[in-house]
Chain A
Amino acid sequence: MKWQRSWHVSGTHQACGNIVAEVCQAIESHGHAEVVVFAVRLALEEALANAIRHGHQGDESMQLGVEAAVDAECIDLIVCDEGRGFDPHCVPDPTRDENLMIASGRGLALMRAFMSDVHIDPPGNRIVMRYDIHSPPPQAEGGHTTV
C-alpha cells in the first residue's frame, strides 16, 4: 500500500526535522533496508537544508512545500522553496582536488550519489528525487560512486 503525504510549512529546521522523521518512519514501516533509510534521510535533509539556507536565505517566514510517497519499491520526494532558484550546472564539483578543502557545497552531490534519480526543475527551486530499489544508486550496491 502506498503512503503519501504533503506538507506546506514554514522553513524552519524544527518543521523539517518533523517531516524527515515522518518520512523515515514510513520507509521503515514498508520494510525497506537500513541502507535505504540512510540514503533517503540524507538526501531529504540536504534538500531541505539547501532550501532553507540558499533558497530562503534563512527567512523563516517563507514556505516550503514537500511531497513524499512511499511504497514497497520506490520512495519519491519533491521539495519546493520560495527562493529564486539556481542553475545546478553552476555548482562546482566538490570532489575536485581544488575544492576538497571548501567547507560547503556537498549537499547536491550527496543527493545525487544516494538517490536513484535527482532532477531540478527550472528555475531551480523544485527538486524531485526518487529511490528505486530496482535501480539503486551505485553506493547502495557496494560500489564507490563519484559525483
Chain B
Amino acid sequence: MAGSSHIRSRTSDGIIEAELLDQHILDEVVIREIGQSLTDLVDAGGDSVDVVVDFSQVAHLSSSALGMLITLNSRVQERGGRLMLTHISEPIGEVFRITRLDRVLEIHDTVVDARAELRGDS
C-alpha cells in the first residue's frame, strides 16, 4: 500500500487501484497534486497499465478535477490501458452526465465491478 496525502494506492493483478482521500476535490493546488500523484503511479506502473480510481470519500469536485481526469485518461490510454472510476455518488454522477463525460470515462459501481470488466468477466 502506497500513497500521498491525497491518495492511497496499491497494485495487484496488474491493476493500479487509487483511492481518493479528500472529501472536496475543489482546490486547484490539491487537484494538481492529485493529478501528479496519479500520473506518477501510471508512469511507474511497468506492466500495470489499467487504473481504477475509487471516489468513495469524495463528496464534491470541480470542473478542474474533471479536466485532471481527462488528462489522466489520455495518459493511461497512451500506455494501452484503461481508466475506470468507481463509487461515484449520485450528485457527482450527475456532473459527469451533464458534461457528457460519462461517454468518455468508464464508470463502474465498485472496484470489484471494474476489476471484473478489466478481466473480461462481465
Q: Do A and B bind each other?
A: yes
Contact of B98 with A110 in the complex, beta carbons under 8 Å: yes
Chain B's interface size range is: 20 to 34
Which B residues have a C-beta under 8 Å from some C-beta of A?
26-29, 59-60, 62-64, 66-68, 70-71, 74, 91, 94-95, 97-101, 103-104
SS of B interface (majority):
helix
**A contact residues around B70 at 8 Å (CB):** 101-103
Contact of B27 with A35 in the complex, beta carbons under 8 Å: no
**B contact residues around A105 at 8 Å (CB):** 63
Contact of B104 with A45 in the complex, beta carbons under 8 Å: no
Contact of A107 with B91 in the complex, beta carbons under 8 Å: no
Chain A's interface size range is: 20 to 34
Shortest C-beta distance, B97 to chain A (Å), equals 5
Known A-B contacts A17-B27, A139-B94; A101 and B104 likewise in contact (beta carbons under 8 Å): yes
Contact of A100 with B103 in the complex, beta carbons under 8 Å: yes
Shortest C-beta distance, B44 to chain A (Å), equals 22
Contact of B94 with A100 in the complex, beta carbons under 8 Å: no
Residue A49 interfacial (CB < 8 Å): yes
